Amino acid sequence: MKAVIFLGPSLPVHEAEEILDATYLPPARQTDFLTAAVNLRPDAIGLIDGVFLQSLSVWHKEILFALDQGILVYGASSMGALRAAETAEYGMIGVGEIYRQYASGELQDDDEVALAHASADQNYQKASEPMVNIRATLAAAEKAGIVDAAQRARMNAIAKAMYFADRTFAAIFEVAGAEGVPPDLREKLASFIRTNYVDQKKQDAIELLRNIKQLESMERESWPEPKPFELNRSNLFGTLYTRDRRVQHGDVSLALESIANYVSLHEPCFDELNFNALNRIILFDFASVLGVKVSEDDIDKECARFRKKRGLVAEEDLALWLEANHLSRREFRDLLTQVAHCRGLHRWFMFALWMDRTTQTVLDELRLTGKYVDWVARAAAQERLLEGATSESDRTAAARIPLDELLAEHQRWTGRGIDIDTASWAEEAGYHTLSNLKMELSRSRAARGALLRLLADSMPAEDDETQTQAAPAAGNGGWSSSNGNAV
């Protein structure tokens, strides 16, 4: 059982570790809860302490996200008690007396659990008293006969009127003296507090840890049942998830926004990357506007295509890639769903341009990227070979070879392969039929054969042995090269 606990001044970490073996994180800020749920994927999260004022507090939607992921979420003592009372109906489990008081409405104000404290380096040493501990201690004093109900209520009112960071017993007694509370009562109360102080926040924090500890001895089927609800992923939550959420790289934690910003300033091809990224997401939305739909089978094929192209056929390879790229399997499928919709829109568009296909589109893209002139020269070189150095028998022989063999030979020669079935690729690439594709592959093969003969004829006589080894291999489709500049 894997647990994550957000803990600060409510309980020293070394004491917590004696109760529960868990990952202990500092008081939670906004995005910390979400980040822990995504990056650490725990079975349970315990929210005890959280920040406010100096940083944005844990957002309720982060808790709902964790619950939606099947994570058990417990809250107690401080920020945890507040959020548990607010999200109990969705399945967050509140623990302890402070939670009970918030849930019942006895307590309503956030300042009841607030206190000033030092940094983590100083073990969160408190500089003020939380109101819940003051109330619990004064209640104990009344029970012990140190104060009566009216005196307890008066001391609570004095403390409550103070700013939370100013609440110390010394300050409370000073105000009480100015308001006429007798010195002997103040002295008796101060003496009681020194020996009978009630740390309700600490007690509740310990109770939370013990509740999570119990899960270890229980069958998973006996764990608390999740409450069904539908998580509304609003635009604000989307921003939190895709921009503010933090990911881990080695010992460095970075916001996703920081990664994108760095890329924008340092990636030489960023403008093209950004252009393509925007095109993808716009096409995805446009596909839905036009009613272009894709099936689960289409998405499966897109996932398989991507995995083949990236060399991620084995499950362990995919798992490592997902971890390195900070994606869950669901997010990976969502991303490839976008690509599948774009591909579906491409098919829709190409059907509308059945005669023209993609000729103009591809050539215009080459012009925009500055590659057009180079590729015209390469195509012209092949045409010269076909016109001047090939025979009708060469072309006829190539036409008799099955399409799959022609494709395999072409890939060995150029390194240019395809990552989906031949018919689908041919359609995407702009060929009207598989026969058109085979004709072009035959032309390419014939040109390669002509080029090899020219090279063999140009070799010196003493290299005859080399010629006899090289030329037949190419003619039989066995010559292999990854040179993308080959004709």
Query: Same structural domain for residues 293 and 174?
Result: no
Specify the pLDDT at position 19: 98
Whether 20 and 28 have beta carbons less than 8 Å apart is answered as no
The answer to whether position 278 is within a domain reads yes
The answer to whether position 251 is within a domain reads no
The answer to whether position 284 is within a domain reads yes
Residue 102: C-alpha distances to residues 105, 108, 115, 454 (Å): 5, 6, 17, 89
Specify the pLDDT at position 312: 96
Query: Same structural domain for residues 460 and 373?
Result: yes
pTM for the whole structure: 0.78
Specify the pLDDT at position 261: 93
Query: Same structural domain for residues 9 and 72?
Result: yes
Mapping DSSP onto H, E and C, the string for the chain reads: CCEEEECCCCCCHHHHHHHCCCEEECCECCCHHHHHHHHCCCCEEEECCECCCCCCCCCHHHHHHHHHCCCEEEEECCHHHHHHHHHHHHCCEEECHHHHHHHHCCCCCHHHCCCCECCHHHCCCECCCCHHHHHHHHHHHHHCCCCCHHHHHHHHHHHHCCCHHHCCHHHHHHHHHHCCCCHHHHHHHHHHHHHHCCCHHHHHHHHHHHHHHHHCCCCHHHCCCCCCCCCCCCHHHHHHHHHHCEEEECCEEEEHHHHHHHHHHHCCCHHHHHHHHHHHHHHHHHHHHHCCCCCHHHHHHHHHHHHHHHCCCCHHHHHHHHHHCCCCHHHHHHHHHHHHHHHHHHHHHHHHCCCCCCHHHHHHHHHHHCCHHHHHHHHHHHHHHHHHCCCHHHHHHHHHCCHHHHHHHHHHHHCCCCCCCHHHHHHHHCCCCHHHHHHHHHHHHHHHHHHHHHHHHHCCHHHHHHHHHHHHHHHCCCCCCCCCCCC
Specify the pLDDT at position 47: 98
Domain encompassing residue 380: 359-475
The answer to whether position 487 is within a domain reads no
The answer to whether position 97 is within a domain reads yes
List the CATH number of the domain containing 227.
3.40.50
Query: Same structural domain for residues 292 and 393?
Result: no
Specify the pLDDT at position 461: 61
Query: Same structural domain for residues 439 and 313?
Result: no
332-337, long-range: CB < 8 A, 24+ apart? 332/303, 333/299, 333/303, 336/299, 336/302, 336/303, 336/306, 337/294, 337/299, 337/302
The answer to whether position 25 is within a domain reads yes
Query: Same structural domain for residues 222 and 103?
Result: yes
pLDDT tens digits, one per residue of 450-486:
888 888 888 876 555 544 444 433 333 333 333 333 3
The answer to whether position 259 is within a domain reads no
pLDDT tens digits, one per residue of 68-102:
999 999 999 999 999 999 999 999 999 999 999 99
Specify the pLDDT at position 391: 64
Instruction: Quote the number of domains for the chain.
Output: 4
Low-confidence ranges of the chain (pLDDT < 70): 353-354, 389-395, 398, 461-487
Domain end (from 352, 370, 399): 352
CB atoms within 10 A of CB 47: 32
Query: Same structural domain for residues 13 and 87?
Result: yes
Query: Same structural domain for residues 417 and 304?
Result: no
Query: Same structural domain for residues 233 and 192?
Result: no
